[in-house]
Amino acid sequence: MLKECAVNTIRENWIRAIADEWMLIAAGTAEGYNMMTASWGFAGEIWGEDSVLILVRPQRYTMEFLENNDTFTLSFYGENRAVHAVCGSKSGRDVDKTAETGLTPVFTDSSVYFAEARLVLQCRKQYMDHIRPESFLMSENLKKWYPNEDYHTVIVGKIERAWIKQ
């Protein structure tokens, strides 16, 4: 069971949680939503707020929901990689990810998360921009990560609410 908590009480190694455990980015409402696996991002403080930074490629179906909604959630599932096997390899345009994963959606006043998570952050979009190839200082990263020129959109979100498994 998840219980709402103050963001500043969460003790996480965000590098490990994001890079090794991965997360789901979800956006939308009961009328329509999608989620995707992500393993790139940051958590910290910017503009005087507890915040996250996520990166989403333009072709991802979840991007439509991120563009059309003011909030999104990040959810973490511990060692449960089954969720990521579906959400990291299939598009919500083609399959019902909720049915395939068995996740239980929970709708807040402005977003969606999943009851099976161990930790959830609900974030309000503060900033969006696109990675620009001309801004790369190390061209090997440009070549390695963007051979198809599908540059991520960078989204900074203020963490407004958090839930943690009890």
Give, for all 166 residues of the chain, the pLDDT tens digit: 899 999 999 999 999 999 999 999 999 999 999 999 999 999 999 999 999 999 999 999 999 999 999 999 999 999 888 899 988 898 989 989 999 999 999 999 999 999 999 999 999 999 999 999 999 999 899 999 999 999 999 999 999 999 999 8
Partners of 54 in beta bridges: 41, 155
For residue 145 the two structure tokens come to 């990560």
The CA distances from residue 114 to 84, 109, 147, in Å, are 13, 14, 34
Reported as type and span, the H/E element at residue 75 is strand 71-76
The CA distances from residue 63 to 25, 46, 66, 67, 72, in Å, are 10, 23, 5, 6, 11
CATH of residue 111's domain is 2.30.110.10
Residue 37 is part of which domain span? 2-165
Cα torsion at 109, 155, 104, 19 (round to 10°)?
-150
What is the Cα Rg of the chain in Å?
Answer: 15
Q: How many domains does the chain have?
A: 1
Per-residue pLDDT at 107: 97
Per-residue pLDDT at 90: 86
Per-residue pLDDT at 25: 98
What single letter denotes the amino acid at residue 102?
A: G
